[in-house]
Structure formats: structure tokens, C-alpha cells
């Protein structure tokens, strides 16, 4: 698929064009450690998105805003950049 690399990764070319739909900040790949913590919290039923919906499916990868506040899932090589599906990193870290 054009624009992607491994299952959970977005290509550098595509990443350079993407912005957070809420803040318009640049996005970067979330590191493996953060992704593992988020997925563990998802499996424990402890993650909700900004809209308050329980996140049930673990992420293949994730994109995080340059300020480290919002996280967006990458599922099956597709970045899910829906404003209401953003996850506040602080809420995951405190869960």
C-alpha cells in the first residue's frame, strides 16, 4: 500500500503531510514503549477516546502530536485521524 511501511507504520512521506485534526500540530510515530502501555490499558478496558467511547481494539501503531498530548491509532496501516477518536496521553498514563 502506498504511503505505508510495516503493518503499524506510516511512511515518512505521508507522515510529513499529516496533522492533528484537533490542534493542527505535526504528528510523529509513538515509540514502542508508549504503544505497549496504551495497548495494555486498552486490553484492561481502561482507555477512552476524547468522545468518551471505550477503545476496544489494540493499535498496530500510533501517531502522537508533537507536544505529546494526543494519540491517534494506526490500524491495518491506516492512520485513524478522526477528532473524536483521539486519545489523551495523560489519561492513559494515569490509568
- The predicted model gives 1-11 an average pLDDT of 59
| Cα–Cα–Cα angle for 87, 91, 94, rounded to 5 degrees | 145
For residues 4 and 45, the model is more confident at: 45
pLDDT, residue 2, reads 47
pLDDT, mean over the chain: 90
Position 1 pLDDT exceeds 60: no
Helix or strand holding residue 13 (H, E)? helix 12-17
- Per-residue pLDDT averaged across 54-75, rounded? 96
pLDDT at site 10: 83
- CA dist., res. 68 & res. 90, Å (int): 9
Amino acid at each position: 500500500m502506498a504511503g505505508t511501511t510495516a503493518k503499524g507504520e506510516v511512511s515518512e512521506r505521508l507522515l510529513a503531510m499529516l496533522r492533528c485534526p484537533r490542534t493542527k500540530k505535526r504528528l510523529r510515530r509513538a515509540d514502542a514503549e508508549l504503544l505497549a502501555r496504551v495497548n495494555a490499558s486498552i486490553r484492561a478496558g481502561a482507555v477512552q477516546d476524547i468522545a468518551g467511547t471505550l477503545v476496544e481494539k489494540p493499535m498496530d501503531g500510533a501517531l502522537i502530536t508533537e507536544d505529546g498530548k494526543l494519540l491517534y491509532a494506526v490500524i491495518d496501516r491506516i492512520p485513524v485521524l478522526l477528532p473524536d477518536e483521539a486519545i489523551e496521553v495523560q489519561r492513559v498514563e494515569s490509568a
